[in-house]
Amino acid sequence: MTSLCVWIRRFPVGGSFALALLFLWSCGELKPEASIPATDAPTIVRRAQMHMGTVVTLTAVAPTASMAQQAVEAGFGEVRRLEALLSTWIPTSELSKVNAAAGRAPVPVGPESLLVLKRSLEIALLTEGGFNIALGPAIEAWSVTEQARIPTEAELRAIHPLVELSALHINERAGTVYLERAGMRVDVGGIGKGFAADLAATVMQRAGATAGVVALSGDIKTFGRLPDKARFRFGIQHPRDPGRMMATLELENEAISTAGDYERYFERNGVRYHHILDPRTLQPARSCQSVTIVAKEGVMADGLDTGIFVMGPERGMALIEQLPDVEGVIVDAEGRVLVSSGLRERVRPANPTISPLPN
In a domain, 94, yes or no: no
Write the CB contacts of 183 (distance below 8 Å, at least 6 apart in sequence): 102, 103, 137, 162
Q: Is residue 44 part of a domain?
A: no
The residue range of the domain holding 145 is: 103-188
Tell whether 139 is covered by a domain.
Answer: yes
- pLDDT recorded at residue 358: 41
Domain count, the chain: 1
Q: Is residue 143 part of a domain?
A: yes
Q: Does 53 fall in a domain?
A: no
* In-domain check, residue 316: no
Phi, psi of 272 (to 5 degrees): -90, 125
pLDDT at 122: 98
In our burial notation (b when 16+ CB lie closer than 10 A, e otherwise), range 250-289 reads: bbeebbbbbbbbbbbbbeeeeeebbbbbbbeebebbbbbb
The answer to whether residue 131 sits within a structural domain is yes
Burial (CB count within 10 angstroms: exposed 0-12, middle 13-18, buried 19+), residue 152:
exposed
Instruction: Say if residue 334 is exposed, middle or buried (CB neighbours under 10 Å; 0-12, 13-18, 19+).
Output: exposed
Q: Annotate the chain with three-state secondary structure.
A: CCCEEEEEEEEEECCEEEEEEEEEECCEECCCCEEEEECCEEEEEEEEEEECCEEEEEEEEECCHHHHHHHHHHHHHHHHHHHHHHCCCCCCCHHHHHHHCCCCCCEECCHHHHHHHHHHHHHHHHCCCCCCCCCHHHHHHHCCCCCCCCCCHHHHHHHHHHHCHHHEEEECCCCEEEECCCCCCCCHHHCHHHHHHHHHHHHHHHCCCCEEEEEECCEEEEECCCCCCCCEEEEEECCCCCCCEEEEEEECCCEEEEEECCCCEEEECCEEEECCECCCCCCECCCEEEEEEEECCHHHHHHHHHHHHHHCHHHHHHHHHHCCCEEEEEEECCCCEEECHHHCCCCEECCCCECCCCC
> Is position 126 within any domain?
yes
Q: Can you give the CATH number for the domain in which 124 is found?
A: 1.10.3980.10
pTM of the model: 0.87
Distance of CA 106 to the CA centre of its chain: 28
Per-residue pLDDT for the chain (359 aa), expressed as one digit of tens each?
333 444 333 333 222 222 333 333 222 223 334 444 444 558 999 999 999 999 999 999 999 999 999 999 999 999 999 999 999 999 999 999 999 999 999 999 999 999 999 999 999 999 999 999 999 999 888 875 666 778 899 999 999 999 999 999 999 999 999 999 999 999 999 999 999 999 999 999 999 999 999 999 889 999 999 999 999 999 999 998 888 889 999 999 999 999 998 877 677 777 787 889 999 999 999 999 999 999 999 999 999 999 999 999 999 999 999 999 999 999 999 999 999 999 999 999 876 555 444 43
Q: Which pLDDT does position 263 carry in this prediction?
A: 79
The distance in angstroms from the start CA to the end CA of the chain is 37
pLDDT recorded at residue 352? 53
